């Protein structure tokens, strides 16, 4: 039940944030659309801890600001490399260890690397990830493992979560 309620709250907040309307008629239509959507999802039996993983919310709320800072820093670095004359890039293909045990943790790590400008996850294996980096410095930064260690640990194991929550 709490997944249903949190999904409804999330959808309404998203609807309100994207629409920006505060007229009573539009607010009530937004509520009606969220109720209908949640009703359909409930009837389809797709609301569970995997489709709406609210147990990861606190750890992801700590990870997202870190990731946003890394994206901004990488944007500044890439812009600087574009504007610098000479050989400011040194493309690298590196294989890095993947400390995450779950598929979800590995995918979040790989996507975080790809979201950061100047780096692209090329291949994700069970224990390693192949990354193309725009510079040796970018590859070395990833090699230090700070981003890998920042992927929340709670994401690693969801087997302890009861499906009926």
Helices 2-19 and 24-43: crossing angle in degrees, nearest 10, is 140
pLDDT tens-digit profile of 87-118? 788 899 999 999 888 887 888 899 999 999 99
According to the model, what pLDDT value does residue 154 have? Answer: 53
Q: Write out the two tokens for 156.
A: 């690693």
Sequence ranges of the domains in the chain: 2-43, 56-155
* pLDDT above 50 for 164: no
pLDDT tens-digit profile of 28-86? 999 999 999 999 988 888 776 555 556 666 777 788 899 999 999 999 999 998 898 77
Return the ∠ at Cα 109 (arms to 82 and 165), rounded to 5°: 145
CA dihedral 136, 137, 138, 143 (to 10 degrees): 90
How far is CA 45 from each of CA 29, 33, 48, 143, rounded to the nearest angstrom? 24, 18, 8, 42
């Amino acid at each position: 039940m709490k997944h249903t309620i949190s999904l409804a709250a999330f959808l309404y907040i998203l609807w309100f944030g994207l629409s920006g309307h505060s007229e009573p008629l539009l607010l009530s239509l937004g509520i009606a659309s969220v109720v209908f959507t949640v009703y359909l999802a409930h009837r389809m039996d797709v609301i569970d801890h995997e489709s709406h993983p609210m147990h990861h919310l606190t750890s992801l709320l700590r990870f997202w600001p870190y990731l946003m800072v890394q994206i901004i820093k990488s944007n500044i670095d890439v812009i600087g490399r574009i504007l610098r004359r000479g050989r400011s890039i040194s493309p690298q293909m590196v294989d890095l260890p993947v400390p995450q045990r779950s598929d979800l943790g590995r995918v979040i790590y790989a996507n975080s690397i790809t979201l950061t400008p100047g780096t692209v996850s090329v291949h994700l294996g069970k224990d390693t990830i192949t990354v193309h980096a725009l510079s040796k410095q970018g590859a070395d930064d990833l090699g230090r493992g700070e981003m890998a260690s920042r992927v929340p640990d709670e994401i690693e194991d969801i087997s302890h979560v009861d499906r009926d929550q």
